[in-house]
Structure 1
């Protein structure tokens, strides 16, 4: 059938709709896409000849304002009324909100117990300990150790060239209202007998102030091994206290001399030094251009320095090797060959009698072709290498001989 009122169009029974062929009736040059409702010929069911939909006029009000709905809401939605955005909350968060009052500010009393202002408390604690300092306390070896005449005060006059080693303890010093010193692992000495404790007391007494400080020492240097571990800790404590107490012009070496013979060297912070007197006179020496390396041998024994000095009966008229080696450091000629030529330790024979393990270790090293020198009063031994690679080779050779040897660099600056 044809519709006389319009273009040729098939009339179909009710509930049957014509198939729209979009490409067939598209004018030339038109774009492909979804046709409008008028072009599609979509009509309401039961009204096949309904007029085309009304077009919104242009002009004022044509563009919807902010918040205006372009599609009208349904009757059911309109009956509910406006709703706020966000997640629905079933009930107020606290009692004050339920009864319509603002939540009161928490009381300052007991606030920490209620976990209030915890961040402020942490910030206060960090400010209180912000002046803490952490220092390295290196070990040492004696490249020379010459014992001279006895002094009027009963001590021996010494001359020794000291060199720090890159084996070190870790010392932390912080302000405190009390004296709190702890050493870990426990070395078996009472806290009052620790050189770190004596360092705090000695410096406080020299300044006329209370002996109060927080000190923690993490040990890595073997105890009573001739490497100056306890003295190095005391020197680090003195340097740390000088920083947190803001001291200027205080002679830390003089304070350290009252604690122990090796403490002034560590308090000075020097990498190499000529030490004379009872240990209180320190002359820092320049480091050589090329790093000095040793193979450090640890002996599983403890030697008391006082016991070795008590048995020593010799006496030198002059310290020739210490003077020659220190001069080589000053002139930049402290090569491994020069250092090996001046290695001397007057306490070696007595130390071997006190600790026979020293003699046994030196004999094993001699069979391996490595001569070993004694550090301090022992029992630690070392061999001077040409360089790092040579130190690794020597240490490997000594380990094959059954000794605990490791390559170490000299001249560590704390």
Structure 2
């Protein structure tokens, strides 16, 4: 049985520690219903990219947070709703402790982009605080704390390929996926997740069991082509730039699949090799220098 830490200052990190907060990508995202409380039910295959934010923690006499990176200024404007500070507050409330350390968040992912950036940051914060303590919270409390921070925080806390259902709390690890050569694009337009969900119309998608994934990437491509992102249509209606980004990805050479991630505006394309992916990235950077491309 895991003991609850005694109230008092949260343990100081013995040295500077780092934690990666990778971008979350929804290879498909289907809405299967809506609960009486308004929360939508979903079915999604989630993977994590090699690009993301970074959290750094070091000893200090009191809690403080610095922001750095290309999207730090945008996050600074909404600092009162920073999921990192909310995660610190939630963890300390759950453990009866007070924070005394310095955090630095290097924000490399665009905000409100469908890549789970804020959720990944919150999850990385929770992992860092658990590393300082040298033990995890009890599983049920850990899950509840993460879900209370946001529907994507539990899957980001796992940080591995997951078949996600429910409102984000039903997580089934996917033991194997073939290597995916992924290109991410964001046209730089903000989209409101709430507004997109309000545009959703029934009938809902039918929930399905996770299909068997073969070692052949072509098998996975075939599986993915049979699924979709139900939020893509409403998002494109609200922000036509998303449709433009999808069209540009589909026109790149050797693109096997292009789709929006999450509620947008970020889109992704899959390729059969790293050179093919890199050629597409170079072409898009030339044609669309104002887009975020990774």
Q: TM-score range by the shorter chain?
A: 0.7 to 0.9
Structure 2: 5+ residue runs without aligned partners? Answer: 1-11
Q: What TM-score do you get using the length of structure 2 for normalisation? A: 0.82
Structure showing the higher helix proportion among its residues? 2
Q: Runs (4+) of structure 1 moved beyond 6 Å?
A: none
SS of 1:384's equivalent in the other structure is strand
In the aligned structure 2, how far is the partner of 1:399 from the partner of 1:216? 29
Match of 1:205 in 2: 93
Q: Does 1:347 align with 2:231?
A: yes
Distance, in Å, in 2 between the alignment partners of 1:168 and 1:136 is: 7
Structure 1 residue 269 displacement after superposition: 2.8
The aligned counterpart of 2:171 is 282
Shift of 1:215: 1.7
Instruction: Measure the CA separation in 2 of the matches of 1:280 and 1:212.
Output: 30
Q: How many residues align?
A: 273
Matched, 1:136 2:16: no
CA-atom RMSD in angstroms: 2.5
Determine the structure 2 residue equivalent to 1:250: 138
Is 1:216 matched with 2:216?
A: no
Instruction: For residue 248 of structure 1, report the CA deviation from its aligned partner.
Output: 3.4
**Counterparts of 1:139-154 in structure 2 under 5 Å?**
139-154=23-38
Question: Is this contact kept in 2: 1:159–1:274, CA < 8 A?
Answer: yes
Q: Does 1:292 align with 2:180?
A: yes
Aligned to 1:376: 262
Q: Distance in 2 between matches of 1:337 and 1:220?
A: 28
User: Which residue, out of 184, 189, 198, partners 1:301?
Assistant: 189
1:230 aligns with 2:118: yes
Gap regions ≥5 residues in structure 1: 1-127, 409-414
CA distance in 1, matches of 2:282, 2:79: 38
Which of 1 and 2 has greater Rg?
Answer: 1
- Asked if the contact 2:34/2:40 (under 8 Å) is kept, the reply is yes
Contact 2:13/2:132 (8 A) holds in 1? no
| Alpha-carbon separation, structure 1, partners of 2:286 and 2:78 | 38
Higher RCO by CA contacts (8 Å cutoff, separation 6 or greater): 2
Task: Output one character per residue of 1:256-315: Cα deviation in whole Å (capped at 9) or x when no partner.
Answer: 100011111111132x11111111222221233x41112222211122322222332334
Report the TM-score, using the length of structure 1 for normalisation.
0.60
Shift of 1:316: 1.9
2:4 corresponds in structure 1 to: none
Cα gap change, 1:298 to 1:190, in 2 (>3 Å): closer
